[in-house]
Chain A
Amino acid sequence: MADAKEAATTQPMSTLTQASGGRADFPLVFERSQPGRRAAHPPKVGDVDLEALLGAENLRREAPRLPEVSELDLVRHYTQLAHRQMSIDANFYPLGSCTMKYNPKVNEEAAKLFQDLHPYQAPETAQGALELLYNLQHDLAAITGMDAVSLQPAAGAHAELAGILMIRAYHEARGEGEQRRVVLVPDGAHGTNPATAAMAGYAVKEVPTGPDGEVDLEAFRAALSPAVAAVMLTNPNTLGLFERRILEISAAAHAVGAQLYYDGANLNAILGRARPGDMGFDVVHLNLHKTFTTPHGGGGPGTGPVGVKAHLREFLPVPFVAKREGEAGAEFYLESDVPRSIGRMRSFYGNFGNLVRAYTYIRALGREGLRDVSGYAVMAANYLRVRFAELGFQVPFDRVNMHEFVAQPPEGLRTLDIAKAQLDYGMHPATVYFPLIVKEAMMVEPTETESLETLDAYVDALAEILARAEADDGYLPGAPYHTPVRRLDEVRAARQPVLRYGFGEAAG
């Protein structure tokens, strides 16, 4: 075989490289600036005595140093920048535990319908918006098997905090606040779980995973005591495996008075088929930016509704949307008069635009459609697990998985290198080195929105990467070859970020 590095450079260019030619030295918009060049020429302001209006001391003496570019240069600059990124709209994105599924464009149209509403508008003049929130609270409660939902939290971790604060308020109201100081978290948990528990003032105790990849029930029972305030779990867990003993786990937790918290990051696996409420969970959070197709990550903001069983309803954040009979029939209002509420989690009513998007998704799919989501998501993940094994990847818990699975590269290869090599194929890597309990972990979640052709193209790319690695020891450590920037010094990027443009002057 010809030199693999050379072969790599003859690959068709990915969308990443088409716009930029793979250049690392993409100029800043400031560096494209030419004095006097303009993108727009707004009409001149009429005769206004700015000094009298604003005060002489508030007027600029010098023009601000803004980039001066033509409209075309401006459009090309940002369009090309956008093409230097990975995105759902452009790339396969099997980032495990993140549920990077397609965000339907109709969601955006629906969100636009509300763009003229103001959050301070009187509730009686925004009844449609409140009705939508009310219906969404109801739908999410029905989907999760809970009794009440708050739409306020701005992310999954934020919702975790709201949930654990409600559990704390519940124990305090029962006079057990001092007694219950511990939160149990499995060793495979998302890192936010122990962080949340610590933020809420609890000690965190880790529960080991058993040889079958599920919570070790005996160790779990041994960790339970009247000092335990809550148990935080996700089901399926971060290995993509359904916790088959979940009913025994919840019964044991409740027997010592602990509350059960469901981390909803993996809800896509069971949507429409199983409900955390029926498994015995007392609090559930949802990531609308994962399961319910609202924008994710940099395209955010995130949205993390939190649902509770009836006994925790009185601790929900305020305000939430409620319904009552008014003079002119049913009316929706913002309920704030909840004396035992944990209070506000954020300004206004949550990320409203994303709540509209999620509601649109639910209404567009309906009950059967939501059920199909989990069916196709699980099928796609299992298909990839089998194809991965055929390629020589190791699958540490090789049984039917849910919406994602964890694999390890063939002996001697590093997960990070394979992840970097995938970038040359225009594919985002899987989640790497998580969960922590599997060495060299690759956590793969294809989601239901990818076609069989895309899944096959992914497997073909991995097969080619493995073949090149075998033919040339230098190939993988050198990858990626075609991206705008190649291997980054991640530590230096985090510790010495350059955040200011110096206009060619000495930094300072």
Chain B
Amino acid sequence: MLTRRHTLSLAAAGLAPRTEARFFNEFVLEVPLAPARLRAELARRGVHAGVAAGEEYGLGHAVVLAATESTTDADIAALVAALQDVLASAHAEAVHG
């Protein structure tokens, strides 16, 4: 289960679920770059994650993240590290043009 414990890990990367509401197996995460780009960048780092929720639900830059009982803490840590890396690159790009 990608539980609140895991969303706390995501918070460390400066990301938060879109709502405070309790969720089951998946939740919506707002991200500061286009979901398609985020997916491609994450895939390059070995993580396949994030279904674009923006188009279908009118949420802008938002992705759906999910995990199952087979997702380990190490998997979550790898996702967080990859997200941090992608966001740092995107930020650097925005600052330095």
Name A's B-contacting residues (CB within 8 A): 52-55, 58, 118, 120-122, 124-125
Contacts and interface: CB of A to CB of B under 8 A. Distances in A.
Contacts of A54: 3, 22
Contacts of A122: 39-40, 43, 48
Contacts of B4: 52-53
Given A124-B40, A124-B43, 5 more contacts: A53-B4, A54-B3, A54-B22, A121-B48, A122-B39
B3 A53 contact: yes
A58 B22 CA distance: 10
A53 B8 CA distance: 11
Interface in B1-29: 3-5, 22
19 contacts: A52-B4, A53-B3, A53-B4, A53-B5, A54-B3, A54-B22, A55-B22, A58-B22, A118-B48, A120-B51, A121-B48, A122-B39, A122-B40, A122-B43, A122-B48, A124-B40, A124-B43, A125-B43, A125-B48
Interface residues of B, number: 9
A55 B23 CA distance: 11
Nearest to B52: A120
Q: What are the 9 tightest A-B residue pairs by CB atom distance, in nearest-first order?
A: A53-B3, A125-B43, A120-B51, A121-B48, A122-B39, A53-B4, A122-B43, A55-B22, A125-B48
B67 to A, nearest CB: 12
A280 B48 CA distance: 46
A179 to B, nearest CB: 38
Contacts of A52: 4
Contacts of B40: 122, 124
A120 B42 CA distance: 14
A55 B51 CA distance: 27
A170 to B, nearest CB: 30
Interface in B38-77: 39-40, 43, 48, 51
A58 B5 CA distance: 17
A55 to B, nearest CB: 6
Nearest to B40: A122
Nearest to A58: B22
Nearest to A121: B48
A53 B5 CA distance: 8
Contacts of A118: 48
Contacts of B5: 53
Contacts of B22: 54-55, 58
* A58, A122, A124 interface centre (most CB from chain B within 10 Å): A122
Contacts of B43: 122, 124-125
A58 B48 CA distance: 30
A292 B76 CA distance: 41
A198 to B, nearest CB: 33
A122 B48 CA distance: 8
A52 B22 CA distance: 11
A123 to B, nearest CB: 11
Contacts of A53: 3-5
Contacts of B3: 53-54
Nearest to B51: A120
B73 to A, nearest CB: 11
B95 to A, nearest CB: 27
